[in-house]
Amino acid sequence: MVDRANKPSAIAPSPGLPQPRVNLSDDNSRVTATLPTGESVEILLHGATVISWKSGGVENLWLSEKAVLDGSKPVRGGIPVVFPVFGGPPANHATSTLPSHGFARNSRWEYLGKSTSESGALSKGGDDCVKLDFGLYTATLSEEAKKAWPYDFGLVYSVTLGKDGLQTMLNVRNEGKVAFEFQMLLHSYFRVKDVSKVAVKGLTGVTYIDKVLNAQIATESNPAVRITGETDRVYQSIPQDTTSIVEADQPRYDVVRDNLEDSVVWNPWKEKAASIGDFEPKNGYINMICVEVGSVKGWQKLDGGETFEGGQIIRSSP
């Protein structure tokens, strides 16, 4: 149903050139990739959660000091994968008995392997990108999750590390004959020095749901969204592809949506952070902001054999 034009393709490594290094940890819990130029990414197989992405020697993602990395609960920080429902499941829906944000972020994924690329959105020629693929399927789900969401599906999550950015793409396939509906979101926690000096641009004129104000619907009238207290807004049907995070008037991140129209802007602020058990340090809200790309306004429907793919490209300016 969807042919991704920018999806990196596997090629044979160029002989004689330094190659990206990819390592699977001894305990089979995580995969790390490093480019010859120093950029790196680390993905936990629990949830296929990206827990580190460094460029220019700088960590770009915020990870709680109390993030649970042993597979017993979702990770607080990094880039958790939300599927097949965003937030609390609605009543009288096929997802209604699932936990908040679904099961993908709390399931163990399979590492499918790596490929290098001379083409694609992040490549500039030569072996300057490495793509890591992770899979989650009906057969590998917990019995509890299968019972709560009894559909035949396949997910392939591709994390591509390039010299100038990180691409994360989720491919969803209906492997059965019965149609299903889903939502998906990439819950990116970006590291910043001081969130009070951060502005999120590219959302002017966009309708949003303000979850802090009892789900009131409003239209963004400001040229930049600034964080002055607890913020939890779902921006819908964003016409621009790029949302930019600026800190102290300097570019920090560009978040480019690929085949996705919605974004969540979230920061718990002081009181909410204090109430979250695995959020540490408690003043860590100062050093993070979430800009989360997804398809959450309504539901994506896939008939048997159909596929959907969407994701993001993140470019950083350390």
User: Which residue in the list 42, 261, 292, 309 is annotated as catalytic?
Assistant: 292
Side chain identity at residue 60, one-letter code: N
- Of residues 39, 46, 101, 187, which has the active-site annotation? 187
pLDDT at 10: 37
**What 3 state SS string does 150-186 have?**
CCCEEEEEEEEEECCEEEEEEEEEECCCCCEEEEEEE
Structure tokens belonging to residue 115: 């490929």
> Which pLDDT belongs to residue 133?
98
Q: How far is CA 135 from CA 138, 207, 235, 251, 281, in A?
A: 10, 34, 29, 34, 32
Whole-number pLDDT of residue 119: 60
* Contact assessment for residue 136 and residue 155, using Cβ atoms and an 8 Å cutoff: yes
Separation of alpha carbons 40 and 59, rounded Å: 9
Distance (Å, whole) CA 237 – CA 165? 24
Q: What residue has token string 């699977």?
A: 24
Q: Strand, coil or helix: what is 272?
A: helix
Query: Rounded CA gap, 46 and 73, in Å?
Result: 9
Residues 6+ apart with CB under 8 A from 82: 101, 102, 104, 105, 183, 184, 185, 186, 187, 292, 294
What is the H or E stretch that residue 250 is in? Answer: strand 250-258
Is 292 a known active-site residue?
yes
Quote the tokens at residue 231: 């913020």
The CB-side HSE value for 188 (13 A sphere, CA atoms) comes to 30
- Nearest CA to 18 out of 114, 113, 116 is that of 116
Do the domain assignments include residue 178? yes
CA distances (Å), 1 to each of 136, 241, 264, 304, in order? Answer: 20, 21, 26, 11
**Residue 15 covered by a domain:** no
Low-confidence ranges of the chain (pLDDT < 50): 1-2, 8-15
Which domain, by its residues, includes 299?
21-316
Specify burial of residue 61 (Cβ count, 10 A radius: 0-12, 13-18, 19+): buried
Residue 222 lies in a domain: yes
Is residue 3 one of the residues assigned to a domain? no
Whether 174 is covered by a domain: the verdict is yes
pLDDT of residue 13: 42
Is residue 282 classed as helix, strand or coil in its secondary structure?
helix
CA count, 13 A, side-chain hemisphere, 92:
0
Classify burial at 16, counting beta carbons within 10 Å of its beta carbon; exposed 0-12, middle 13-18, buried 19 or more: exposed
CATH number at residue 223: 2.70.98.10
Identify whether 175 is part of a domain: yes
Minimal CA–CA distance to 191: which of 283, 311, 74, 63?
A: 63
93 noted as active-site residue: no
Tokens of 295: 């398809």
* Number of structural domains the chain divides into: 1
> DSSP per residue over 97-149, as a string?
TSPTTBSGGGSBPEEEEEEEESSSTT--SSS-EEEEEEEEEGGGS-HHHHHHS
Q: What are phi and psi of 128, to 5 degrees?
A: -105, 10
C-alpha distances (whole Å) from 23 to each of 12, 35, 92, 113 are 19, 12, 44, 11
Q: Tokens standing for 131?
A: 């793509």
256, two tokens: 């480019």
Q: Is residue 101 part of a domain?
A: yes
Tokens describing residue 293: 């790309």
